[in-house]
Amino acid sequence: MKTPLLSAPPPLVFAAPDLAAAIADWQRFLAAERRYSSATLQAYERDLRQFLRFLSIHMGETPTIGLLSEVRPADLRGFLAARRGEGVAARSLGRQLAGIRSLIRYLEKRGSVNGAAFSATRSPKAKKSLPKALEVDKAMRVVDAGSSLADEPWIAARDAAVLSLLYGAGLRISEALSLSRAEAPIGGAKMLRITGKGAKTRIVPILPKVAGAIEAYIAQCPWPLGSSEPLFRGQKGGPLSPRMIQRAIEAMRGSLGLPDTATPHALRHSFATHILGDGGDLRTIQELLGHASLSTTQVYTHVDAARLIEVYRATHPRG
């Protein structure tokens, strides 16, 4: 039976005034100095809230800054076990522990706590899942179908433009939908400056076909597109929701014979995998994708190796 321990109200309920004030300072630090996104900040707050509630019940008192120094590895393992008992995956547990450690490191630098227990506790091992890249012909069919499946021509053109950015430039769906009209790579533009995770800015090349798809959308869009306003619009003129693009690809699965793993993010994975397969190097792909660490990009070597093994087994006389 699932324990109700960790479904938590706002964190201040389970934090003494000194700790609550320190948490507020930490959150401001992450937003202003580290420039974390609002989504990351919300996830960290939610994770911390769950931990503080567990700690208040487990330790029998409202957590203070001083109490954090008394936390032992066994206490942290108890928290992780409680979360695992609720069906939380190892990857999510690792992210949750990382958020808690971020607060502890912040307090350690201020000389407020001894975070030895938090450093000594290992993160749960997450099973590595390979990116689900589409085959080249299927990726191309998805992009091409984006201009033919929608009922209204301007929406079809819009979907084709967004999908072209995902597969043709390797953008995340959030990055594509964050573009303003002024940032649209048209008029002969060969490069696009994009700001991704962690406010990291990168430059990506823009293929003529991608620019052409965006120009076709702009020409047909019935809504006025101010220079500082969102480039991609929903049916009623507001900013386009990622869910609309997800639904567009879901609608293509049956007609194009695509697997369930065909998603907007799969197009970004396909972009990287296909470049690697054609001889691209990891450092270049790292820059194009905006990965902070090369180790994140190296997963694509496994994807390409898997494809080569499949070909080998299917074609070798003794396969």
Residue positions annotated with a catalytic role: 172, 197, 265, 268, 291, 300
The DSSP annotation for 184-195 comes to ---TT--EEEEE
Q: How many CB atoms lie within 10 A of CB 26?
A: 19
- Strand ranges inside 98-197, DSSP E: 191-195
Helix (H) or strand (E) holding 23, with range, is helix 17-32
Cα dihedral 176→182→183→189 (10° resolution) = 130
Q: How many CB atoms lie within 10 A of CB 194?
A: 22
| Contact call for residues 234 and 220 (beta carbons, < 8 A) | no
- Strand ranges inside 112-224, DSSP E: 191-195, 201-205
- Joined tokens for residue 53: 């509630």
Long-range contacts of residues 65-70, Cβ cutoff 8 Å, at least 24 apart: 65/16, 65/18, 65/19, 65/22, 65/107, 65/112, 65/113, 66/113, 67/19, 68/19, 68/104, 68/107, 68/113, 68/115, 69/113, 69/114, 69/115
What end-to-end distance do the CA atoms of the chain give, in Å? 48
Return the closest-CA partner of residue 171 out of 139, 141, 205. Answer: 205
From the CA atom positions of the chain, what is the Rg in Å? 23
